Amino acid sequence: MPGANPTENKDDIAMYPGISPIAFYIGPWPVHWYGIIFAVVIVLGTLLAANDAQRRGEDPQNVWDGVLIVILFGLIGGRLYHVIHEWNTLYKDNPVAVFYIWNGGLAIYGGIAGGGIGLALFAHGKHLNLLRWMDIVAPSLILGQAIGRWGNFINQELYGTPTNLPWAVYIDPQHRLPGYENYSYFQPLFLYESLWDLFVFGILIYLTRRSRIHLFDGDAILLYLILYSIGRFFLEGIKIGDVFTVFGIRTAQLIAALLIVSCSALLIYRHRRAEMPQVVHPET
C-alpha cells in the first residue's frame, strides 16, 4: 500500500503499547475487557430503553423482563454470522474457539437479526406493539455498538488497510491478518464505526425526543437501519481479511445496500400514504 509503513521496529512498539485483553483476575479466573465493555453496554442500553419506554407511556418493567431474551438471541445471531463468515480463517482448524466469545467476534447484522427475533418473541408473548418496542430499543442498540467497538480495539481486531495516517493504529504481529504481516499501522476501522454510531445515536435521540417531526411506530428502527447501513457500506470498503462476496460484492456491503434501499422505500411509502387524502364514498 502506498504510504503505509511496511516494516516493524522497536519505536513502533514503544509508541503503541498493546493493551492486555485481560483487565484483572478473580483468583485464577481472568476478567476480560471485552466482557466488561459488554456488561457496560447492557446496563446503559437497558437504562436508556427503560427511560424511553416510560416516556412513551409503556411499562418500563417490560424492558427488564425482556432484556435477557433479546441479548441471548442477539449473541447467538451475532456469533453465528461471525463464525460462518470467518470459519476458514479462525475456526476451521480450532472449532472449540467458536465458544471463546470473550476474544471478540460478534457480527452486527447477525446480532440485529437475532435480537429482533428475541424481541418479536417477547413482544408476542406479552401482547406488545412490536414496532413501538423496536423504536424503543433502536437508540440503545446504536449506542451499544458505539461503545462496544472499543472492545475491538483492545482485542486488536476490526482494522482496515495499512496506512501512515497520524491516527493509524498499531497492530501487534500476532494479530495481523495473513498477507499483512509486514505492515505495522492500519486504519482504525473500529474508531470510524464508533464515531459514526455516535452520530447516528445523536440523530435518533433528536428525532425521537426533540424534533417536532411526527414519527410513526417503526420509523426509528427504520432510520437506524438506514443510517447505520450507510456508514457500514462505506467502511466495509477499507476492511481487510477473508470476506464473503456475492457476485464480487462483499456480503456486508450487499446487506447494507439492501437495507438502505428497502427501509428508505418503506419509510417514504408509510409517510406518503399517511398524507394522502382519505376518499369518503357517499352512502347509497
Q: What is the mean pLDDT of the chain?
A: 86
Q: What's residue 3's pLDDT?
A: 44
Residue 2 lies in a domain: no
Please check the confidence at residue 16 and state whether its pLDDT lies above 50.
no
In the structure, what pLDDT confidence band is assigned to residue 19 with cuts at 50, 70 and 90? Answer: confident
Average pLDDT over residues 148-162: 89
Residue 199 lies in a domain: yes
Q: What is the pLDDT of residues 186-201, one digit of tens each?
A: 999 999 999 999 999 9
Structural domain boundaries, residue 195: 10-275
> 82, 107 in Cβ contact below 8 A?
yes
Please check the confidence at residue 166 and state whether its pLDDT lies above 50.
yes
Q: What's residue 206's pLDDT?
A: 94
Written as nine digits, the cell of 8 is: 516493524
Please check the confidence at residue 4 and state whether its pLDDT lies above 50.
no
Q: What's residue 146's pLDDT?
A: 96
Residue 283 lies in a domain: no
Provide the number of structural domains found in the chain: 1
Residue 249 lies in a domain: yes
> 196, 238 in Cβ contact below 8 A?
no
> 189, 153 in Cβ contact below 8 A?
no
Higher pLDDT, 212 or 175: 175
Q: What's residue 189's pLDDT?
A: 94
CA angle, 235 then 188 then 4, to 5°: 100
Residue 197 lies in a domain: yes
Residue 190 lies in a domain: yes
Strands 22-26 and 169-170, bridge-based pairing: unpaired
CB atoms near residue 273 (< 10 Å):
8
Q: What's residue 13's pLDDT?
A: 41
Higher pLDDT, 18 or 239: 239
Residue 4 lies in a domain: no
Residue 137 lies in a domain: yes
Q: What's residue 252's pLDDT?
A: 86
